[in-house]
Chains A and B, each alone.
Chain A
Amino acid sequence: MAECHPVGFQWVMEAKARGAKVIHIDPRFTRTSAVADTHVPIRAGSDIAFLGAIINYILSTEKYFHDYVVAYTNAATLVSEDFVDVDDLDGVFSGYDPETGTYDTSSWSYEGVGEHSAGGGPASDPAKDDEGGEEKGGGSGATGGSESEESESDRSAGYEMGGHGASLDHSEVRRDETLQHPRTVFQVLKRHFARYTPEMVQETCGISPEQLLEVCEAVTANSGRDKTTAWVYSVGWTHHTVGVQMIRTSAIIQLLLGNMGRPGGGIMALRGHASIQGSTDIPTLFNLLPGYLPMPKVGPHDSLDEYVAEIASPDQKGFWVNAKSYTVSLLKAWWGDAATEENDFAFGYMPRLTGDHGTYATVMSMLRDEIDGYFLLGQNPAVGSAHGKMQRMGLSHLKWLVVRDLNLIESATFWSDAPEIETGELKTDEIDTEVFFFPAASHVEKGGTFTQTQRMLQWHHKAVDPPGDAQSELEFFYLLGQKIRQRLAGSTDDRDRPILDLTWDYPLDEDGEISAEAVLAEINGFHLSGDKAGQPLNTFNEMKPDGSTSGGCWIYTGVFADGVNQAMRRKPGREQSWVAPEWGWAWPMNRRTLYNRASADPEGKPWSEKKAYVWWDEEAKKWTGHDVPDFEVGKAPSYRPEEGASGPDGLAGDDPFIMQADGKGWLYAPAGLLDGPMPTHYEPQESPVSNPMYRQQANPTREVFPRKDNYQNPSGDEPGVELYPYVFTTYRLTEHHTAGGMSRFQPYLSELQPEFFCEVSPELARERGLENLGWATIISARTAIEARVLVTERVTPLRIAGRTVHQIGLPYHWGQGDQALVSGDSANDLFGVTLDANVHIQETKVASCDIQPGRRPRGPALLEYVAAHRARAGVTLATGNEHRTPPEDAEGKHRRVTRDDLDGDVIGGPDGATGAKGSMNKQERS
């Protein structure tokens, strides 16, 4: 955090000065470790084993917050008899289909009451059928890489869920509040995590029992009625094939210790840039609409009602049952008067998803020449995304590319200076991509809001005019929209209506630019009819499903409450309460801590005076406190819903998790995740270590892409693993910003970290003959890169399963290009593409590699070098790409893949080399 978020880290230092204990868990010793109380070096990618052991400690020493757990989590809920855990199935949960690499999640559901099955729903549930099969008509040929059609369509449900979590089709579940029933979530959890012992942690993570215990004791001692513990993470947890489950593991710890919904608790995601939180709230993601509404899909979402029904079952509890009001208000904001009850509020104008259009699926589509044009806005995939070669090759297949950035980044100049030019895989005069570079205004050159990780919107004013032709995104897209609308003016083609009917008129501000404040007001929403017509909405509870309100993002409603830009408030902390509600504005409804009903006990009293936050005022009959209560303000703690009640009314007065379908915090996820109801340790996609827990090596649902441009290193006990014996991880340095677009063009930053380097331990340096400040070549099955060597004791070898595992650290800021002040090979070029099934995120925080002293070969020789290394390891398309780890053969080794696999037709999939217009193919076979 000190490394990547130095400004935010001041508050950690302040907390430390007040006596907080800071524990830093990281593969390497960073600037954060330097000032932490404890640094725990961990093998990259083994976090679930480590966190799982903390859960085991909490459960077996009975240090969980009993009253909180019973009342506020689903610990007491009974799980279906059909559920079978990983221990009994050699590393997979019940419902696994090895052919498709997917789960039928019906056996994970809660035990039903009566004839209904609550939870994920049985296979006969029509909604679920839709989720499972909606893409069969959508043409999987247009999507994905080379996954089989079945697996691709079966896995589509999770990422299209939006932010609403899994719906439950029934509000009643069976509970045993003594937690003794063997099928209570509590007991299931206890059995599941019993294997996560200190020995297992030592074997898996390289962390000693002593250190594990120190962390366990610190975390539990700092949790309870009087104390809370916070977990802070960033992409070190998310960029994994098990990333969603890593965060789930932390969530389980926090729920067991009663650290959710309380001051000083929670799980904080540190974002990589300013307003990344905002870019998921009002998303740049293909599968989300503003406010975490899911993107509608071709097929099941022909009508608004069908769409809304899938977001939330009308029978379930919680606030998502109002999804229609949120959706209709959004449609009214976008299409205004053209959105009428008669035309389903222009729901038909909405684009529909035909499948996975995530970044990697899109790049593979580019390689198949299915994509004509592409916009890059402040993103540098040629350097910052996994498998840089695939990214650059993809860009070379476009007809046009718009790059809006502060500087001429590598993604804008790949056609002249990509490393593939040097290797002969690309030739400048054969690249037809027309690149349009638009200089962008930086944040100080435009007004607007940032939404930070606490969901707080803070307005920033323009300080200076943008230089030259530089413009803000707002200005650019407004004008682009104007031009497109001018072109389409007078068109009678129905397909042009969604563009022509858009509300596309904004006032100008005092600088003559499109008023960002007017856009924020539109996002907030208005009353469109009645007495208050024209007035801003004050809360999303005012949104109506009848078209009488508008609002561009329901969770942001209230940011313009009373017609005031609440995000612009800057009342100093000393002039208000410690929660500082009058600084900026946080969604939803200016709540600074979500689910804060949980900060009071079931009767509505604070768990302790010290941690009092919101509470029930018996006299006034309402919730009150330091923060805005995240609860219906007049709902008494003693309120119990009538049988069959649904929506907000279905939530009891002590159900704090109001967005969950049962009002409880989920220790166990009966639905909604594609790779298991509980986290379980899997090795990274590429790992020199065999999974010590069971046969299944890696996440059995991970999305694999067996393509000839995406070979994978052997892992575990696969033959050839010794050719890629080391673990590497990538990260940022304080001195640079991500892929370097904002820092490698700045002399003052570039001089502070001028060259790409690898960090190795003295032990590894000796083992491989590496010298401080010398050169090293780092090799994966995709490519080899070179870096200066920094030998440092901040990197420590770990003892794993009786042997030493070395880790190599690679900052990923550099790329090859002519424009930046400093350049170098890109660490992300080493990675292949393998994705988490839930959210399609790539595994870029851990993989395996070899390292050799000296510089890498140049030109075409580089390709030969990498191919030769791969050949020695016996890498085929099947290597690392089987969902289910094959059983051991007679020699105790995994099945060696055959020549059939090598030819690629068995595993199938398009030849990735087509992406290189054939040239790469030749190279690899030479």
Chain B
Amino acid sequence: MDPSTSSGQALTTSPVGQPDAHRGPDQAFTSVEPGGPAVRAGWEEHPPRKGFFTDTSICIGCKACEVACKEWNGVPQDGIYELLGSSYDNTGALGASTWRHVEFIEQRKPLGGQTTGVTIGVPETTSYAEPSVGRAVLLGEIGGDFDGSAGADHSGLDLFGSLKPAPAQDKPLVDLGMPAFDLPSASPDAGERTDFRWLMASNVCKHCTNAGCLDVCPTGALFRTEFGTVVVQDDVCNGCGYCVAGCPFGVIDRRIGDKNKPKDDLANKNHGVAQKCTLCYDRLSENLTPACAQACPTQSIQFGDVDELRERAQKRVETLQAAGVMGAQLYAEDPDGGVGGAGAFFLLLDEPEVYGFPPDPVVTTADLPRMWKNAGFAALGLVAAAATAFVAGRR
């Protein structure tokens, strides 16, 4: 990244109905700054930055977050009532009418600390380079008389062997866990079955420190709140859609209404307007927890001050790694990362690609300063050329 505090201003020339102060400085690509993005946005008095820590290791995929979000925010039902055929996910992706999205990933991998029986009775082979887990005890060793000695070998099993990172040079393909990876009914034979786990994760807007959507918004509809979050103002957005391309995560989208329904139907609310998670701006203003976090039964979605959540997340990932869940990693949390550390970050149990997350997200406007610089040089060149032409012409 090219830290620069001035050139970004070039993009924020027309904030309609919004105080400039809450937008302009956001283009500062300094990743760590006292006070966080709210200060940079010009909020002189502001509460601590708020955000989500979504711990996917304890998500049970109940989708309460999706429903609570829609109920509270009046987000319409989206799409047609049709099965997607993608595990238990019938939502598909985040979008204008999906501000929380629970993903389901079926994987041929053991979950750390877990033994699954899905392979019982199926001949064992493995599609991974690593040794399979939990299969080492042969039936014959158990014996039928329950003499109590047979299970002694359990503790010696390397339960997490297959989750250890493979050497870089022969890194295996990442199974994205999507049906398309290997159409289930087309897989060669039962011998392929090894271990199994079912990952669930509730995706949401990241509320980036350096937010691409906000950077590119020409109307000022998107703004940085005093909580450090990024919110669209429905009544300001003109539906240009720049933000859609501006989001490195594919979160924000324009809502397309339903022509077959009356104009005042919920489905046609904010037709054409860009929509996404507001981190329940209205609830935050009343000192309430956002609806999704409030509804989450297992506290997979944790809401709070970002600084505190980061500490909590760090401890949690260390705990999991110490317990042998080697895939556990934080995502979008790093203040030095491509979006300057998200306000809503995640603990994942596998590589981000597995969840359909970009592995190394960079705010789309990161290169703007350099681009503007180059454009400036080019413009100067043109001016020089023109001047030269005049000068030459005079001759």
B-facing residues in A30-46 (Cβ within 8 Å)? 31-41
What is the CA–CA distance of A733 and B16 in the complex, to the nearest angstrom? 47
Q: Which residues of A contact B90 (CB under 8 A)?
A: 751-754
A57 contacts chain B at the CB level, 8 A cutoff: yes
| Overall SS of chain B's interface | loop
Q: Which residues of B contact A770 (CB under 8 A)?
A: 185
CB <8 Å contact, B115 and A793: no
What is the CA–CA distance of A209 and B119 in the complex, to the nearest angstrom? 14
- Listed A/B pairs (26) with beta-carbon separation below 8 Å: A6-B64, A9-B60, A10-B299, A13-B298, A29-B116, A31-B62, A31-B200, A33-B116, A34-B60, A38-B116, A38-B117, A197-B144, A209-B143, A209-B144, A210-B137, A217-B151, A748-B71, A751-B91, A752-B66, A754-B90, A762-B190, A772-B179, A792-B184, A796-B119, A796-B121, A822-B81
Q: Which residues of B contact A41 (CB under 8 A)?
A: 117-118, 120
A230 contacts chain B at the CB level, 8 A cutoff: no
What is the CA–CA distance of A904 and B144 in the complex, to the nearest angstrom? 46
B150 contacts chain A at the CB level, 8 A cutoff: yes
CB <8 Å contact, B116 and A772: no
CB-defined interface of A540-553 with B at 8 Å, one 1/0 digit per residue? 00000000000000
B196 contacts chain A at the CB level, 8 A cutoff: yes
What is the CA–CA distance of A206 and B70 in the complex, to the nearest angstrom? 43
A-facing residues in B110-164 (Cβ within 8 Å)? 111, 113-122, 137, 139, 142-148, 150-151, 154
Determine which of B61, B70, B122, B146 lies in contact with A796 in the assembled complex, contact meaning CB atoms within 8 Å. B122
CB <8 Å contact, A210 and B106: no
Q: Which residues of A contact B114 (CB under 8 A)?
A: 36-39
CB-defined interface of A747-777 with B at 8 Å, one 1/0 digit per residue? 1111111110100001101100011110000
B247 contacts chain A at the CB level, 8 A cutoff: no
- The smallest C-beta distance from B85 to any residue of chain A, in angstroms, reads 4
- The smallest C-beta distance from B160 to any residue of chain A, in angstroms, reads 13
Determine which of A35, A197, A752, A794 lies in contact with B58 in the assembled complex, contact meaning CB atoms within 8 Å. A35
A60 contacts chain B at the CB level, 8 A cutoff: yes
B254 contacts chain A at the CB level, 8 A cutoff: no
Question: Chain B residue with minimal CB distance to A733?
Answer: B88
Chain-B contact segment, one of A149-157, A506-514, A709-717, A797-805:
A797-805
Determine which of B83, B91, B111, B185 lies in contact with A762 in the assembled complex, contact meaning CB atoms within 8 Å. B185
CB <8 Å contact, B87 and A792: yes
CB <8 Å contact, A793 and B184: yes
Determine which of B66, B117, B151 lies in contact with A207 in the assembled complex, contact meaning CB atoms within 8 Å. B117
CB <8 Å contact, A56 and B146: yes
CB <8 Å contact, A751 and B78: yes
What is the CA–CA distance of A734 and B61 in the complex, to the nearest angstrom? 9
Q: Which of A33, A40, A748, A751 has the most CB of B within 10 A?
A: A751
CB <8 Å contact, A793 and B108: yes
Q: Which residues of A contact B120 (CB under 8 A)?
A: 41, 206-208, 211, 796, 798-799
A-facing residues in B310-369 (Cβ within 8 Å)? none
Q: Which residues of A contact B200 (CB under 8 A)?
A: 31, 34
B197 contacts chain A at the CB level, 8 A cutoff: yes
A464 contacts chain B at the CB level, 8 A cutoff: no
Size category of the binding interface on chain B: 35 or more
Determine which of B76, B77, B137, B197 lies in contact with A34 in the assembled complex, contact meaning CB atoms within 8 Å. B197
Determine which of A34, A39, A762, A771 lies in contact with B115 in the assembled complex, contact meaning CB atoms within 8 Å. A39
Determine which of A39, A735, A762, A798 lies in contact with B184 in the assembled complex, contact meaning CB atoms within 8 Å. A762
If A34-B199, A788-B83 are given as contacts, then 17 extra A-B residue pairs at C-beta distance below 8 Å, sorted by A number, are A2-B60, A13-B60, A31-B60, A33-B198, A206-B121, A208-B120, A208-B139, A213-B142, A734-B63, A753-B90, A766-B189, A790-B83, A791-B184, A796-B122, A798-B120, A799-B121, A822-B81
What is the CA–CA distance of A9 and B148 in the complex, to the nearest angstrom? 32
Determine which of A209, A757, A765, A794 lies in contact with B142 in the assembled complex, contact meaning CB atoms within 8 Å. A209
CB <8 Å contact, B187 and A762: yes
CB <8 Å contact, A792 and B121: no
CB <8 Å contact, B145 and A752: no
B370 contacts chain A at the CB level, 8 A cutoff: no
**A214-B154, A748-B71, A751-B81 are contacts. A796–B118 as well, Cβ < 8 Å?**
yes
**A41-B120, A797-B121 are contacts. A752–B85 as well, Cβ < 8 Å?**
no
Determine which of B60, B70, B144, B185 lies in contact with A766 in the assembled complex, contact meaning CB atoms within 8 Å. B185
CB <8 Å contact, A210 and B81: no
**A34-B60, A199-B144 are contacts. A751–B79 as well, Cβ < 8 Å?**
yes
A274 contacts chain B at the CB level, 8 A cutoff: no
CB <8 Å contact, B83 and A198: no
B67 contacts chain A at the CB level, 8 A cutoff: yes
What is the CA–CA distance of A749 and B145 in the complex, to the nearest angstrom? 50
What is the CA–CA distance of A323 and B146 in the complex, to the nearest angstrom? 46
A-facing residues in B30-65 (Cβ within 8 Å)? 58, 60-64
Question: Chain B residue with minimal CB distance to A35?
Answer: B60
CB <8 Å contact, B118 and A198: no
CB <8 Å contact, B117 and A10: no
Q: Which residues of B contact A214 (CB under 8 A)?
A: 115, 151, 154
Question: Chain A residue with minimal CB distance to B116?
Answer: A39
**A772-B183, A773-B85 are contacts. A34–B64 as well, Cβ < 8 Å?**
no
Question: Chain A residue with minimal CB distance to B85?
Answer: A773
B269 contacts chain A at the CB level, 8 A cutoff: no
A821 contacts chain B at the CB level, 8 A cutoff: yes
Question: Chain A residue with minimal CB distance to B107?
Answer: A793
CB-defined interface of B180-192 with A at 8 Å, one 1/0 digit per residue? 0001110101100
Q: Which residues of B contact A793 (CB under 8 A)?
A: 106, 108, 118, 184, 193, 196
**A39-B117, A40-B117, A57-B146 are contacts. A772–B63 as well, Cβ < 8 Å?**
no
What is the CA–CA distance of A799 and B90 in the complex, to the nearest angstrom? 32
A7 contacts chain B at the CB level, 8 A cutoff: yes
Determine which of B58, B64, B80, B118 lies in contact with A29 in the assembled complex, contact meaning CB atoms within 8 Å. B118
Q: Which residues of A contact B185 (CB under 8 A)?
A: 762, 765-766, 770-772, 791
CB <8 Å contact, A37 and B118: no
What is the CA–CA distance of A39 and B196 in the complex, to the nearest angstrom? 10
A516 contacts chain B at the CB level, 8 A cutoff: no
What is the CA–CA distance of A34 and B61 in the complex, to the nearest angstrom? 9
Q: Which residues of A contact B87 (CB under 8 A)?
A: 790, 792
What is the CA–CA distance of A790 and B199 in the complex, to the nearest angstrom? 17
What is the CA–CA distance of A7 and B296 in the complex, to the nearest angstrom? 8
What is the CA–CA distance of A821 and B121 in the complex, to the nearest angstrom? 41
Q: Which residues of A contact B146 (CB under 8 A)?
A: 56-57, 60-61, 197-198, 213, 216
B170 contacts chain A at the CB level, 8 A cutoff: no
**A39-B116, A207-B117, A796-B117 are contacts. A754–B60 as well, Cβ < 8 Å?**
no
CB <8 Å contact, A755 and B117: no
- The smallest C-beta distance from A12 to any residue of chain B, in angstroms, reads 9
Q: Which residues of B contact A10 (CB under 8 A)?
A: 297-299
- The smallest C-beta distance from A200 to any residue of chain B, in angstroms, reads 9
What is the CA–CA distance of A434 and B60 in the complex, to the nearest angstrom? 44
Q: Which residues of A contact B60 (CB under 8 A)?
A: 2, 6, 9, 13, 31-32, 34-35
A-facing residues in B173-213 (Cβ within 8 Å)? 179, 183-185, 187, 189-190, 193, 196-200
B82 contacts chain A at the CB level, 8 A cutoff: yes
B-facing residues in A57-90 (Cβ within 8 Å)? 57, 60-61
What is the CA–CA distance of A61 and B147 in the complex, to the nearest angstrom? 6
Q: Which residues of B contact A752 (CB under 8 A)?
A: 63, 66-67, 90-91
Q: Which residues of A contact B297 (CB under 8 A)?
A: 6-7, 9-10
The 6 closest A-B pairs by CB, nearest first: A799-B121, A773-B85, A747-B77, A754-B81, A209-B142, A791-B184
Q: Which residues of B contact A762 (CB under 8 A)?
A: 184-185, 187, 190
Determine which of B62, B82, B139 lies in contact with A734 in the assembled complex, contact meaning CB atoms within 8 Å. B62
Determine which of B61, B78, B82, B184 lies in contact with A31 in the assembled complex, contact meaning CB atoms within 8 Å. B61
What is the CA–CA distance of A633 and B20 in the complex, to the nearest angstrom? 74
What is the CA–CA distance of A42 and B190 in the complex, to the nearest angstrom? 18
CB <8 Å contact, A13 and B61: no
CB <8 Å contact, A788 and B85: yes
- The smallest C-beta distance from B161 to any residue of chain A, in angstroms, reads 17
- The smallest C-beta distance from B132 to any residue of chain A, in angstroms, reads 13
CB <8 Å contact, A754 and B85: no
